[in-house]
Amino acid sequence: MAEPDSLKGKLRLPVIGAPLFIISNPDLVLAQCKAGIVGSFPSLNARPVSQLDEWLDQITSELESYNRANPDNPAAPFAVNQIVHRSNNRLQEDLALCEKYKVPMVITSLGAQAEVNQAVQGWGGITLHDVINQRFAHKAIEKGATGLICVSAGAGGHAGALSPFSFVAETRAWFDGPILCSGAISTGGGVLAAQAMGADYAYIGSAFIATAEARADEAYKQGIVDGSAEDIVYTNLFTGVHGNYLKKSIIDAGLDPDVLPESDPSAMNFGSGGGSKAKAWKDIWGSGQGIGSVKSVRPAAEYIDQLKAEYDAAKARLLG
């Protein structure tokens, strides 16, 4: 297992809570870390930049005091997600704040930059880059990323189309660093399956939308509870990049999910409604295919307890 030193002995489960645009906030991150998995959020969720300073202050100080009070059961470290894309004009400012708080893990998406990896590793952090194919995976490692997130078919939000079985196996064949498997994982059995395939960690996003701490409308949370794999639509219409969305939100926006037009990928943007008044992420709800096992909205810690029980049971059943 390729385990970075910063994670050794610090996780109750080999799970990283994925960053969720708009939805992840300090309450969710703290709940995830205290329950023993890595919690994360996109830095752009904190607006304006001064709020990022406040969030990082709150998260680091609350985790420090939690760890002082629970030396035998410390919290997992947290991660910040940076969108490394030319449209993100906050990248340098946000990275400087991550350096100020020595953020232990930075998840980069939509672009691999050697300077970003060097900066994070320079303060002792690790970088995980999310990729949807081998070309991007090789590029990320050439640019110095510590580890790879194989965002496979069925993942919520921007997602690839490769099966996790082939994607993880082909990546493990040439890369011996940390690999995270992502896409429709929502049960403890799924976490163990990711490890059996050769990944080190499972990366779980959509299931955390239906938690008490998540910053999402109640209707969105209920949509996750009510939905299952066949309620998910894969389209590039809303942002120019292919992603998975809840069918109900597309219908509610007045669009026919069965006849969505293709978008022009050169016109990548992060908030269009594909010709309707609806806004991607706010009105058009990102979701992966793994939500069929999400049965209620509840505190993140309760969901993580369930993941742990399922993981242990699957391990006992298969490995004796």
Ligand X SMILES: Cc1cc2nc3c(=O)[nH]c(=O)nc-3n(C[C@H](O)[C@H](O)[C@H](O)COP(=O)(O)O)c2cc1C
* Binding site residues, ligand X, CB under 6 A: 18-21, 23, 42, 81, 107, 109, 130, 151, 155-157, 182-185, 203-206, 286-288, 290
- Is the Cβ–Cβ distance between 43 and 302 less than 8 Å? no
For the bound state, the minimum distance from the C-beta of residue 13 to ligand X, rounded and expressed in Å, comes to 14
Nearer to ligand X, 64 or 217 (CB): 217
For the bound state, the minimum distance from the C-beta of residue 94 to ligand X, rounded and expressed in Å, comes to 13
For the bound state, the minimum distance from the C-beta of residue 299 to ligand X, rounded and expressed in Å, comes to 18
Nearer to ligand X, 101 or 270 (CB): 270
For the bound state, the minimum distance from the C-beta of residue 266 to ligand X, rounded and expressed in Å, comes to 21
For the bound state, the minimum distance from the C-beta of residue 208 to ligand X, rounded and expressed in Å, comes to 8
Nearer to ligand X, 141 or 153 (CB): 153
Nearer to ligand X, 68 or 197 (CB): 197
Listed residue (106, 103, 156) closest to 128, CA to CA: 106
Nearer to ligand X, 282 or 315 (CB): 282
